[in-house]
Amino acid sequence: MSVLSPIDNFSYWHNQAYRLGEKIANDQVPAYNLSGRLYVAQHRDKPYGLLSVPNAMVRGIFDAMDETGIELPLHEGKLDAHITVFRPEDISIIGGTDKLLNDRGKTFTYTIGRLMELEPAGWPDVAKCWILRVHSPELQELRRSYGLSSLPNEGKYDFHVTVAIRKRGVLGRTDTAKDTTAA
């Protein structure tokens, strides 16, 4: 009977764990089992086609974030978590919100991806925002069924859920620079 040395024993179990991890990694497929309902809402007097998302998901991610000066992305003082499916320009192209009547209230599935940090375009009072990327073949197909690109803004934006923002000036910039010439 041979007895494995501690190093050989470690190597054996490490190799087994690696093979198990490799097997598990190869078997992974995205789960599209998160869902929301399509609805239309007005924001700054413009119509948007949105997919509902649980506010609890946004609150949970927000609570876990370690960033100075962040806030929840509130709309008119309340959290309204969503995925933007149709922007105002999309709704204009398809002929108005009435064209969405057949799809309002329908459920569409998605899966979540990475948390990303970015400087938002068109949001002048916000310096940074954090978004949770979303992938949804169903939402892509829905947009294509209306003659639009698969993703918003002619494919330039991912579907996403905004989970945090940092407004401009929150971190307290000053007009005076450090004096680096002093000895």
Domain ranges of the chain: 50-167
Structure confidence at residue 80 (pLDDT): 95
CB 37 within 8 A of CB 107: yes
pLDDT at 92 over 70: yes
Q: Which of 111, 137, 88, 107 is nearest to 39 (CA)?
A: 107
Calculate the average pLDDT of the chain: 87
- Using one digit for the tens of pLDDT, what is the confidence trace for 123-146? 889 999 999 999 999 999 999 999
Please say whether the dihedral angle defined by the alpha carbons of residues 95, 96, 101 and 106, taken in this order, is positive or negative.
Answer: positive
Structure confidence at residue 121 (pLDDT): 83
* 154 vs 47, residue with greater confidence: 47
CB 132 within 8 A of CB 89: no
Q: How confident is the model at residue 171 (pLDDT cuts 50, 70, 90)?
A: confident
Structure confidence at residue 135 (pLDDT): 97
pTM over the 0.85 mark: no
